[in-house]
């Protein structure tokens, strides 16, 4: 269980893929919102394969004690934060595959370790964002900071992992091409002379 699932475990949300609904016990808890208690979400269960238990998983998440008005104000920002995180991990995965493989579209293997590590390692920062929003922080400013944090995190992860290619011999040209494609920000181009001239005339 990863923090990307947290919103759907708390509230009814709709994203690009599906509609998510919390458990009845969670909905009742959110409705009555008992105060002065230590509470949280505790998800757990077995991982089964062919009717055989392979592993036991459990994870703890916080619960927000906020009213409906606050929830409606926070939810769009939290959904945007989660959506951008999903886009970022997809970008990181694509960048590594293009750096590792001569034919990345046909690359085979289990790349879930990239996603799992990303979600686990960005969880503390996400819940710091949640806390800042809950305490009245300016939403657009916090989301802008969050996007910058994720972009830098993904670039550092790329730099750390790209030289540990477990599949093919390392190709520096391929590595630098992938890094430039996914993790180089395009600087604003200077205005043309004709445009600058028109701006000066207008002044």
pLDDT single digits (tens) 112-128 = 899 999 999 999 999 99
Residue 118 lies in a domain: yes
66 occurs within a structural domain: yes
Say what the pLDDT of residue 43 is.
Answer: 81
Query: C-alpha angle 122/134/36, rounded to 5°?
Result: 110
| 77 band by pLDDT with thresholds 50, 70 and 90 | very high
Percent of the chain with pLDDT over 70: 90
User: Is residue 77 domain-resident?
Assistant: yes
**Does residue 161 fall inside a structural domain?**
yes
Give dist(CA 98, CA 114) in Å, integer: 14
Residue entry with tokens 């926070």: 74
Measured distance CA(13)–CA(74) in Å, rounded: 12
Q: Using CA atoms, how far apart are residues 29 and 161, in angstroms rounded to an integer?
A: 42
The answer to whether residue 149 sits within a structural domain is yes
Q: What is the pTM of this model?
A: 0.78
Tell me, what's the pLDDT at 187? Answer: 53
Grouping H, G, I as helix, E, B as strand and the rest as coil, residue 109 is: coil
Measured CA to CA, the distance from residue 134 to residue 21 in angstroms comes to: 22
Residue 186: pLDDT band by 50, 70, 90 thresholds?
low
Label each residue of 1-64 as H, E or C. CCHHHHHHHHCCEECCCCEECCCHHHHHHHHHCCCCCCCCEEEEEEEEECCEEEEEEEEEECCC
Residue 2 and residue 116 in contact, taking contact as beta carbons nearer than 8 Å: yes
Range of the domain at 82: 3-183
The owner of tokens 């269960």 is 45
Q: Report yes or no on 196 lying in a domain.
A: no
Residue 111 maps to a domain: yes
Strand partners, 61: 41
Comparing CA positions, the residue from 30, 28, 37, 33 lying closest to residue 7 is 30
Q: Is the pLDDT of residue 81 over 90?
A: yes
Domain count, the chain: 1
Q: Does residue 199 fall inside a structural domain?
A: no
d(CA 97, CA 112): 12
The pLDDT of residue 195: 45
Identify the pLDDT of residue 202. 45
Model pLDDT for residues 37-61, shown as the tens digit of each residue = 777 888 888 888 888 888 888 888 8
- List phi, psi (to 5°) of 20: -120, 140
For residues 7-24, give the mean pLDDT. Answer: 78
Lowest mean pLDDT among 9-23, 63-77, 144-158, 185-199: 185-199
In the block, residue with structure tokens 């609904």 = 21
């Amino acid at each position: 269980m990863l923090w990307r699932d947290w919103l759907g475990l708390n509230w009814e949300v709709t994203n690009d893929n599906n509609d998510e609904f919390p458990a009845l016990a969670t909905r009742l808890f959110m409705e009555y919102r008992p105060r002065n208690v230590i509470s949280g979400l505790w998800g757990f269960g077995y991982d089964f394969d062919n009717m055989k238990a392979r592993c036991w998983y459990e994870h703890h998440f916080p619960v927000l004690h906020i009213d409906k008005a606050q929830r409606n104000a926070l939810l769009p920002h939290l959904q945007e934060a989660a959506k951008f995180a999903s886009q970022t991990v997809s970008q990181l995965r694509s960048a590594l595959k293009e750096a590792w493989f001569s034919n990345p579209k046909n690359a085979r293997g289990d790349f879930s370790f990239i996603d799992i590590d990303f979600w686990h390692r960005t969880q503390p920062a996400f819940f710091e964002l949640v806390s800042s929003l809950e305490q009245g922080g300016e939403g657009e400013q916090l989301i802008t900071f969050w996007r910058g944090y994720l972009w830098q995190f993904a670039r550092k992860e790329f730099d750390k992992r790209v030289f540990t290619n477990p599949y093919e011999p390392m190709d520096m040209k391929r590595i630098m091409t992938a890094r430039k494609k996914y993790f180089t920000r395009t600087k604003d181009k200077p205005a043309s002379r004709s445009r600058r001239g028109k701006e000066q005339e207008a002044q």
